[in-house]
Amino acid sequence: MRRRVVVTGLGCVTPVGNDVATTWEALCSGKSGGGPITRFDASQHKVQFACELKGFDAAVYMDRKEAKRSDLYTQFGLAASVQAMQDAGLASGGVDPNRLGVILGSGIGGITTFEAQHDVLRDAGPNRISAFFVPMFIGDIAAGVVSMRFGAKGPNFATQSACATSAHALGTAFRQIQYGDADVIIAGGSEAAVTAMAVGGFANMQALSGRNDSPGTASRPFDVSRDGFVLGEGAGILVLEELEHARRRGARIYGELAGYGAAGDAYHLTGQPENHEGLQRSMRRALEDAGLQPGDVQYVNAHGTSTPMNDPNEIRAIRAVFGDAANGLNVSSTKSATGHMLGAAGAVEAIACLLAIRDGIVPPTINLHTQDPECDLNCTPLTAVRREIVAAVSNSSGFGGHNASLALRRLA
């Protein structure tokens, strides 16, 4: 018999806030995280803006020596994990270490470190490459660092599926707890890819918006004038816990992670099939897994990248899955505010769904002034909407044809 899984802790660092409360307030009030790139000199780049973190201080979460030996993506992941464990009341113990796991992924990993050490190789030769290069760069190391911080000796690994990474991390953690491999798992994703090579690469494949003169309005999902996504960074972490374990310790419960669906497109490296049939299957599987009918869901946090291809394809997929019930949905893309946080996006968006359920607020799609007729659902333009939300679905997709959908609901 599968066990029920609830969420008892949330943590995030995002381009619109360095904690959950600040991020949520910004999402609901329509604040944009976009601005000129400060991480490196972007003057020679086609795209010179991104959604960067502001005022993040790693020293709040780790000592100076540890921070120096950690890539930014690890720093972000640890920060969000500390927040989530404190929020769950588990930062100082309260769970058997052998039953505590960490599943924390990154779409790109330590690319900041990779670029810096490549410069060392070029300028000073191979003997000057840092002995810490490999453990700083590899995409699983944030999961390892978090496990060491909290003594987590249960399942411990990283997922990697591009922009679906943290949604897959949450779904995999969900299954591990359902089937008894752990009682509590720290799960999510982290990304720090605002670097010269990443920005240049995404720009050259024409994935990014080119609105250098208006960074704050460049991410405009579902708008007829959208021209690409805005690169974001940060981390989102959720503490998933078996329901009875949470109840026994009197934990505060945000909601239930009730269903998970994953499906592949098997179609194209970066494109999607028409009507995004793979995403349709992941949504259907999530709803079926949760025992939900389309009419039971009030909110869909869309993948909503602000690219010409994704947005109408995703809307058509939602309409295909929800049928007549699609007209009663609120759909929104919080990437309009945070930018596209790549491997961290799915977890941050799952947090938004849980807070939407808690507060009865649908965060808006900002910068949506002229909705594309092909995106013909209620995409919640510009202003947050108050409505009762019992259940929500969060969608994520990634290069390579990876799709993941999470069904979250109020605990009944």
Write down the number of H helices and E strands in the chain: 13, 14
The position carrying tokens 């949506």 is: 368
**Within 10 A of 140 (CB to CB), how many other CB atoms are there?**
17
Token readout for 223 is 């708008």
CB under 8 Å to 166, separation ≥6 — which residues? Answer: 105, 159, 187, 188, 189, 236, 343, 344, 345, 346, 347, 348, 350, 396
C-alpha dihedral over 218, 223, 225, 227, to 10 degrees?
Answer: 50
Query: What Å distances lie between residue 280 and 7, 85, 179, 192, 405, CA to CA?
Result: 25, 33, 26, 30, 9
The DSSP code for 42 is -
Q: Which of 116, 142, 112 is nearest to 52 (CA)?
A: 112
Pairing of strands 299-301, 234-242: unpaired
Q: SS3 for 295?
A: helix
**Within 10 A of 82 (CB to CB), how many other CB atoms are there?**
20
- Phi, psi (rounded to 5 degrees) for 153: -110, 10
- List active site positions: 163, 303, 340
- The one-letter amino acid code at 291 reads G
Q: Which of 35, 39, 38 is nearest to 51 (CA)?
A: 35
